[in-house]
């Protein structure tokens, strides 16, 4: 995933204060609680990969996207905790 971020829209569904504490470069932030009302901001032609702190909220977000017609939806395995533990770049 780290090498293929240009084609995938990363979607961070954590709380605003979590996002401000660091996030994956290039990710779009939409808090999970706001996601149902902001689906129109997402490009349906791109694949999406959701993440949160550990994966629970990201799974909910992925299910919500799929239920609303997004076809190529993935969940970042391990989410933010795994990303940072692996030493990948953050903003």
Summarize pLDDT for 17-61 with one digit per residue, the tens. 999 999 999 999 999 999 999 999 999 999 999 999 999 999 999
Closest-CA residue to 26 (of 59, 53, 4): 4
Q: What is the pLDDT of residue 11?
A: 98
Q: Which of the following is catalytic: 10, 11, 32, 52?
A: 52
**CATH number for 14:** 3.40.250.10
Residue 52 catalytic? yes
Instruction: Tell me the pLDDT tens digit for each residue of 65-87.
Output: 999 999 999 999 999 999 999 99
Structural domain contains residue 90: no
Q: Is residue 77 part of a domain?
A: yes
Residue scoring higher pLDDT (3 or 28): 28
Residue 17: give the domain boundaries: 2-85
The structural domain count of the chain equals 1
What global pTM score does this model have? 0.91
């Amino acid at each position: 995933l780290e090498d293929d971020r240009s084609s995938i829209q990363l979607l961070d569904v954590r709380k605003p204060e979590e996002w401000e504490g660091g996030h994956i470069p290039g990710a779009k932030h939409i808090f999970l609680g706001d996601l149902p009302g902001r689906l129109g901001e997402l490009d349906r032609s791109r694949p999406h990969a959701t993440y949160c702190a550990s994966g629970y909220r990201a799974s909910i977000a992925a299910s919500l996207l799929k239920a609303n017609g997004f076809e190529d939806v993935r969940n970042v395995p391990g989410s933010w905790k795994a990303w940072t533990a692996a030493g990948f770049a953050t903003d």
